[in-house]
Amino acid sequence: MNLPFQPVVLWSDALLFLLVAVLIGFLLHVRRHEHLRAPWARVGQSRVGMATAVVLAVYAAIGVLDSLHFRPALPAEPGQPVQYGNEVLSVLDLMAKPLRSQVEKTYSAPFALHLYAKENLTLADGRQVRDYPRLKYGGAHLSDERERAGDIARRAVVGVAWGLGLAAAVVLVAAGLLARRNRMPPGDALVRLARAPELAALRSALLTLTLLLVLAGSVVQLAGHYHILGTDKVGQDVFYLALKSIRTGLLIGTLTTLIMLPFALFLGVAAGYYGGWVDDVIQYLYTTLNSIPGVLLIAAAVLVAQVYIETHPELFDTAAARSDLRLVFLCAILGVTSWTGLARLLRGEALKLRELEYIQAARAFGVSHLRILSRHILPNVGHLVLITVVIDFSGLVLAEAVLSYVGVGVDPAMASWGNMINGARLELAREPIVWWQLAAAFLFMFVLVLSANLFADSVREAFDPRAERRT
Amino acid sequence: MTGLVLRDLRVEIATGGRRLAPVDGVSLSVAPGECVALLGESGCGKSLTALALMRLLPEGLRIADGEARLGETDLFALPERAMQQVRGGRLAMVFQEPMLSLNPVMTVGQQIGEALAVHRALAGAAAGAEIRRLLEAVGLSADLSASYPFQLSGGQRQRALIATMLAGEPRILIADEPTTALDVTVQAQILRLLKRLQAERGMGLLLITHDLDVARDMADRVAIMYAGQIVEWAPREALFAGPVHPYTQKLFSVLPSAQRRGERLDHIPGTVPPLGTAFSGCRFADRCDQSWARCRKEAPGFHERAPGHFARCHLMVEPRPAGPASAPAASGQAVEAQAMPLLRVQDLAVHFPQRKGLLRRVAGWIKAVDGVSFEIAAGETLALVGESGCGKTTLARAILRLIEPTAGSVRLGDAAIGELQGEALRRKRAEMQIVFQDPFSSLNPRMRVGEILEEGMQALRPELAKAERKALVPVLLQQVGLDAAAALRYPHAFSGGQRQRIAIARALAVEPRLLICDEPTSALDVSVQAQILNLLQGLQRERGLAYLFISHNLAVVGYLAHRVAVMYRGRLVETGPAAAVMAEPMHPYTRLLLESAPGRGLGVAEAVEAGTGGEAGCPFAARCREVQPRCLVAMPALRRLNDRQVACHLRE
Ligand SMILES: Nc1ncnc2c1ncn2[C@@H]1O[C@H](COP(=O)(O)OP(=O)(O)O)[C@@H](O)[C@H]1O
Ligand code: SF4
Ligand code: SF4
Ligand SMILES: [Mg+2]
């Protein structure tokens, strides 16, 4: 096979795809069951819920694009079998090629034309001066430095126009779908889309999307010609790093849950349902785990993993595979230390459900324990699991940042917000200050965590049993 | 007049772009020293009326129209700050569930003290004296001032709550189903207390209830509410002498009682219209057996039939045109029980270990069921009565072996249930099934009705193929009076009464010979209760089912049961034929229960609230009005007297 690339599936990719498959399966399941659909329909009615869902979807899309990995073919000599490079790239890397390749020498500020450090320069007349040199790529197309402001404005306006155009197209498509569903003329549908109170949530989703498209349009126009968020110590584009960090953050937030869920579900429900010595053992287990400081446990586990990875280089054919394994390992250890909260919650709920009369009725029918657990208890704790998972997500994203800062997080070579913050730490003391690295990490993380929290709120509200009366 | 006058109250809720009115034009008045009962089935808007008066409507609901005057004050026009002064001051409210209205982390005394500080600016020693006075006024010992709500019994909590509400010296007290969660004996005490306080203080009382008998005992005037409107408004004597609105008449005729034994109860077809129903004429027309064309076209006015006696019905001003009369209630024959015992329970005991301390050592035993023996014949109904907590449900569960009994034996037919294991136990389980009290927690909300019915069959009738099981579902549903289409829906789509039917169908699916019904109608409205009781009687006639019918409602017991067993603190104290026991109770406890039942006036002397008596003597001694010296030292045994059994020294 002479493909121009060789697909690579890292461990975390595989788990992520599994997660996506689980999610799709879950969605199909929900669609088929009226009682499951109702609360999600309530999330769909919530303006905040829909707006944040759009933001989260954009993050997720970037994360998935960044998880489609491959190794590009090296320029081959004729007649030779194709050779593939050692570097593992993702589809996102391909799309953001200029960002990845346009590496400066060291720090430069956002939209700067000059490096942030002085160098010895030879002027045209042969004199030697010490000054800030022009950047190799940032604004290199400008012949006159005074054109910068005008150029940026021009490109931004073009980008905004693009964004608005795309947004208009999306709105028209939405109106068209609405018209088809309600069998009304498209014009009326457009009016309804703009006015109808029951479509308020859809409107806020579209508004959010418009904002994001406008932003994306300008970024696309500008990012190829300027470092819009500056460059870091080794001259890499900070915007690119922040984009790449999205995948890391999302993985930590979701894979951890995937790993923790079976523990929490099984142990929590078993403890509550069976009671007696099973309960005693499980309670003992999580009380003990809970009384060890989490950071210590994580630090110890990560260090052990690091040693193992370093002493077995033969197991990894690329650097990416190595740092990926460490990421998966981090998720696993975070999962192992964080199942206790949910397990305790589920234990309490199962304890309550066990006494409920429909469970007693099932027992009076001689229904087996396993069947009672799977048919009666599990479906009735589903909402608790869901709410916990959504709420935990943002906590885990933040935990990654803290752990990487402490040095027991992801591989230092991996793009992550924690590593960005860690890198920016020392430069904060510099004069003048290098602020953009920290600001970029903060901005990306803030938007994600805020959206996740607001989304979690609307999910919780929709699943609140008291909400059922209101509809 | 310093009473409360409410005019044309309309409460609105906006959902899905529509405005619905759960309360639609309610007017009533309460004079000082008067008790007005607001009576209706659940969901008709009684509580919302009360909450609107207090301006405490839940989020999303608002007062859309109407006027409320308390003396000279216009309640709906007051700013919120001024309303806070009125609330708990001149206008106070007692809720159904006292545990939810008392703050769990404050002592009773602190809570009363808070109300005193806010409404009467009392503090220090003066407040302390007043707290003691109030506690004594509601019949609580002043020592309880330092107790937290969880340390009190249900009746004590309700008293404490009433004391808190009295602290502001209200002119009007609203009580929303203040006794629904309580036992009959405690209910009688609380009602007596309210009546006394009302008389002593010249206070107006707006009593919200769903129980006609409570209204009969308490009210001076009665308002009957249906679907957000008052349909009849009359002085008590006039109403109980002759209700004029068809709905009120039906409410009277669906009530079971010992006198109606063997009769089929009248019933109101259908259910209360759900919120959001669009009405074109009379709101009761769909369920009214006297309705005619005009009822569906034109909403009836509120007509004065006799001075002070109003009803919202066209019949008040126009006789019903001749037409097909509604069928009179069919009367069935009483079911005669057979002699052969089906279930034989002997010396059954269930003791729960009480663990204490860090190591959870067994410190003592709670004797929930302590040596109970009885028999039930095929086709017979044995009613088990007693206050909550006396062990009725535990006994039921032990019979089914959902709990392992500590001692004793249960024989069903020829098999000892206690010795069965595995497959044999499973097969025997098909012969006895249970219907629970709470129709909302007895069905798994995540399973379709069809799946719920099939689950039991799958476990207990493995000989049925899948297709056969599926074919049985519509048959079962039809037997309990439900549509076959119900099989595809989830429980939340059904009302309480319909859910109870589903629960009965689930039990019938495995063809039991004995059905244990654990308070199957106590969570239901009276009209629905009548439907379920009729259903149970019909099934007994058709299939010769035996029932162990657990209930605290003596009217239902008198109507349905062949025999009665009275239980007190884990033991039977009296058994016998239902008619004889109800007519002539032999045990003082049975007598207390019968006298406490509402609808007989409130004339019974105050009984001591359930306490923990001495270990050695009669367990009832602490509450017994006829207690003797030997009662304190010797436990009376259950003795046979002809066809009855009594455990009391007076009957030896
Ligand atoms: N918080 C609420 N939100 C929406 N509907 C409510 C709320 N509370 C009560 N309702 C509806 O208003 C109607 C009357 O309720 P309620 O006053 O509690 O009846 P009652 O006290 O007579 O049983 C019912 O249909 C009920 O479902
Ligand atoms: S108006 Fe007609 S339907 Fe309504 S209660 Fe009277 S007779 Fe019945
Ligand atoms: S034995 Fe004594 S205390 Fe017990 S019920 Fe009879 S009279 Fe009362
Ligand atoms: Mg109510």
Point out the residue among B17, B437, B442 whose CB comes nearest to the CB of A358.
B442
B-contacting residues in A 174-213 (Cβ below 8 Å):
197-198
For residue B504, give the chain A residue with the closest CA. A361
Question: Distance between CA A455 and CA A52 in Å, rounded?
Answer: 6
Query: Do A358 and B400 count as a contact with CB atoms less than 8 A apart?
Result: no
**Protein residue closest via CA to atom 7 of ligand 3:** B627
Structure-token pair, residue B648: 């009391």
Q: Which two tokens stand for residue A395?
A: 């906590």
Mean pLDDT throughout B76-104?
85
Top mutation candidate among B94, B275, B279 for ligand 1, by most atoms within 8 Å of CB: B275
Helices (H), B369-495: 392-399, 422-429, 449-460, 466-479
Instruction: Note the pLDDT of residue A276.
Output: 85
Residues 6+ apart with CB under 8 A from B561: B381, B382, B383, B549, B578
Q: Considering only CB atoms, which chain A residues are within 8 Å of B446? A: 35, 379-380
Task: Measure the CA–CA gap between B591 and B174, rounded to whole angstroms.
Answer: 31
pLDDT of residue A469: 42
**Residue B614 scores a pLDDT above 70:** no
- Helices A294-311 and A378-406, packing angle to 10 deg: 70
**Cβ contacts of residue A61 below 8 Å, gap of 6+?**
none
Mutate to test the pocket of ligand 1, among B41, B47, B230 (most ligand atoms within 8 A of CB): B47
* Domains, in order of start, for chain A: 240-469 (1.10.3720.10)
Residue with the nearest Cα to atom 7 of ligand 2? B291
- Quick: pLDDT tens for B393-420: 899 999 988 888 999 999 988 888 888 8
Q: Chain B residues with CB inside 8 Å of A386's CB? A: none
How far apart are the CA of B636 and the centre of ligand 3, in A? 8
CA distance B105 to B529: 38
The reported pLDDT for the residue numbered A427 is: 76
Alpha-carbon distance of B279 to B295, in angstroms, equals 11
Substitution target in A36, A284, A360, A371 with the highest count of B β-carbons within 10 Å is A360
Question: Edge-to-edge strands of the sheet including B571-577?
Answer: B432-435, B514-518, B546-551, B381-385, B563-568, B571-577, B644-646, B639-641
Ligand 3 contact via B310 beta carbon (within 6 Å): no
Nearest alpha carbon, ligand 1 atom 4: A470
Using a CB-CB distance cutoff of 8 angstroms, which residues of chain A are in contact with residue B15? 470-471
Distances (CA, A) of B588 to B568, B584, B611, B646: 11, 11, 16, 10
Q: A379: distance to nearest CA of chain B, Å?
A: 7
Give SS3 for B390. Answer: coil
Residues B37, B222: contact at Cβ < 8 Å? yes
Residue given tokens 């009781």 in the structure block: B533
Q: From CA B178, how far away is CA B159, in angstroms rounded?
A: 10
Counting beta carbons within 10 angstroms of the beta carbon of residue A314, is it exposed (0 to 12), middle (13 to 18) or buried (19 or more)? exposed
Top mean pLDDT of A338-352, A445-459, B220-234, B272-286 is at B220-234
- Residue B281 in tokens: 């004429």
Q: Are B272 and B42 in contact (CB under 8 A)?
A: yes
Residue of B nearest to A356 (CA): B441
To which H or E segment does residue A130 belong?
strand A128-131
Can you say how many angstroms the Cα of residue B401 is from the centroid of all Cα atoms in its chain?
Answer: 27
| CATH 3.40.190.290 corresponds to the domain B341-431+512-651 | no
Using alpha carbons, list the distances in angstroms from residue B631 to B8, B509, B590, B621, B646.
59, 48, 17, 6, 14
- The residue among B23, B161, B189, B185 whose CA lies nearest residue B96 is B161
Using DSSP's 3-state secondary structure scheme, residue B433 falls into strand
User: Measured between alpha carbons, how far is B97 from B108 in angstroms, rounded to an integer?
Assistant: 16
Residue with the two structure tokens 């772009």: B17
Closest partner residue to A366 (CB to CB) among B15, B397, B426 is B426
A34:B490 CB<8 A: yes
Taking the Cβ of residue A131 and every Cβ of chain B, the question of whether any pair is shorter than 8 Å is answered with no
Q: Concatenated DSSP letters for B150-161?
A: GGS-HHHHHHHH
Quickly list H helices, B523-608. 526-543, 554-560, 578-583, 588-596
User: Minimum-distance ligand to the CA of B26?
Assistant: 1
Instruction: Report CB contact under 8 Å: B446, A379.
Output: yes
Across chain B, what does the average pLDDT equal? 86
What ipTM was assigned to the predicted interfaces of this complex?
0.71
Supply the pLDDT for residue B463: 84
d(CA B554, CA B592): 12
Q: In what order do the strands lie in the sheet with B415-416?
A: B361-377, B341-356, B407-412, B415-416
Judged against a pLDDT cut of 90, whether residue B272 lies above it is answered with: no
- Could you report the per-residue pLDDT of B538-564, keeping only the tens digit for each? 889 888 899 999 988 888 898 999 999
The amino acid sitting at A373 is L
Contact between A468 and B492 using a beta-carbon 8 Å cutoff: yes
Q: 3-state class of B525 per DSSP?
A: coil
pLDDT bracket for residue B333 (50, 70, 90): very low
The secondary structure of residue B230, as a DSSP letter, is E
CB proximity under 8 Å: A 429-448 to B: none
CA distance B274 to chain A (A): 12
Q: How far apart are CA A295 and CA A297, in angstroms?
A: 5
Return the pLDDT at B338.
52
Intra-chain end-to-end CA distance of chain B, in Å = 60
DSSP B391: S
Q: Are B648 and B573 in contact (CB under 8 A)?
A: yes
Question: Residue B551: is it exposed, middle or buried by C-beta count within 10 angstroms (0-12/13-18/19+)?
Answer: buried
Nearest CA in chain B to A377: B444
Give span(s): CATH 3.40.50.300, chain B.
341-431+512-651
Which chain A residues are Cβ-neighbours of B441 within 8 angstroms?
Answer: 356-358
- Contact call for residues B93 and B194 (beta carbons, < 8 A): no
Structure tokens at B443: 């069905």
Contact A120, A110 (CB under 8 A): no
pTM comes to 0.76
Q: pLDDT tens for residues B452-480?
A: 999 888 888 888 888 888 999 999 998 88
Predicted pLDDT of residue B332: 44
Under 8 Å between Cβ of A13 and A325: no
CA distances from A445 to A391, A397, A442, A452, B119 (A): 15, 8, 5, 10, 52
What H or E segment, with its residue span, contains residue B221? strand B221-226
Q: Report residue B383 CA to chain centroid gap.
A: 17
Q: Which helix (H) or strand (E) holds A30?
A: helix A11-32
Cα(B24)–Cα(A149) distance, integer angstroms:
66
Rank A175-189, B79-93, B184-198, B225-239 by mean pLDDT and report only the highest: B225-239
Q: Is the Cβ atom of B243 under 6 angstroms away from ligand 2?
A: no
Strands B341-356 and B407-412: antiparallel
Rounded distance between C-alpha atoms, residue B8 and residue B3, angstroms: 17
Instruction: Walk along chain A (471 residues) and give the pLDDT tens digit of each residue.
Output: 567 788 888 888 999 999 889 889 988 988 887 777 888 888 888 889 999 999 999 999 999 999 998 888 877 777 777 778 778 888 888 888 888 888 888 888 888 888 887 878 777 787 888 888 888 888 778 888 788 888 889 999 999 999 999 999 999 999 889 888 888 888 888 888 888 877 888 899 999 999 999 999 998 888 888 888 888 888 888 999 999 999 999 999 888 988 888 889 999 999 999 888 899 999 999 888 888 888 888 888 888 888 888 888 888 777 888 888 888 888 988 888 888 889 999 999 998 888 888 888 888 888 888 888 988 898 888 888 888 888 888 888 888 888 888 888 888 888 889 888 888 877 777 777 888 888 999 999 999 999 999 998 888 888 766 554 443
CA-CA distance, B259 to B547, in Å (whole number)? 20
Distance CA B447, CA B503 (A): 13
Q: Between residues 345 and 364 of chain A, which touch chain B (CB distance below 8 Å)?
A: 356-358, 360-364
Identify the band that residue B608 occupies on the pLDDT scale cut at 50, 70 and 90. Answer: low
Distance from CA of B53 to the nearest CA of A (A): 21
* DSSP 8-state code for residue A114: B
Query: Quick check: B248 pLDDT over 90?
Result: yes
Q: What is the rounded distance in angstroms from the CA atom of residue A261 to the CA atom of residue B13?
A: 40
Q: What pLDDT is attached to residue A471?
A: 37
* Nearest chain A alpha carbon to B490: A35
DSSP B1: -
pLDDT band at B359 (very low <50, low <70, confident <90, very high): low
* A365 interface with B at CB cutoff 8 Å: yes
Instruction: Tell me the nearest-neighbour CA distance from A339 into chain B, angstroms.
Output: 25
pLDDT score at B274: 77
Inter-CA distances, B194 with A373, B19, B165, B184, Å: 48, 37, 12, 15
Flag whether pLDDT at B219 surpasses 70: yes
Q: Do A365 and B446 touch (CB under 8 A)?
A: no
Q: Is pLDDT of B246 > 80?
A: yes
The answer to whether A77 and A12 are in contact (CB under 8 A) is: no
Beta-sheet pairing, B563-568 with B381-385: parallel
Q: What is the pLDDT, as a whole number, of residue B622? A: 84
Residue A371, CA distances (Å) to A334, A351, B444, B509 in order: 31, 17, 13, 19
- Considering only CB atoms, which residues of chain B are within 8 Å of chain A? 15-17, 60, 397, 400, 402, 425-426, 429, 433-434, 436-438, 441-447, 455-456, 459-460, 490, 492, 503, 506, 510
CB contact under 8 A, A470 and B15: yes
**B433 vs A198, A364, A380: nearest CB:** A364
| Cα(B245)–Cα(B310) distance, integer angstroms | 9
Q: Identify the closest residue of chain A to B457 by CA–CA distance.
A: A365
User: Cis peptide leading into A432, omega within 30 of 0?
Assistant: yes
Q: How far is B225 from chain A (nearest CA, A)?
A: 22
More confident residue, B199 or B321: B199
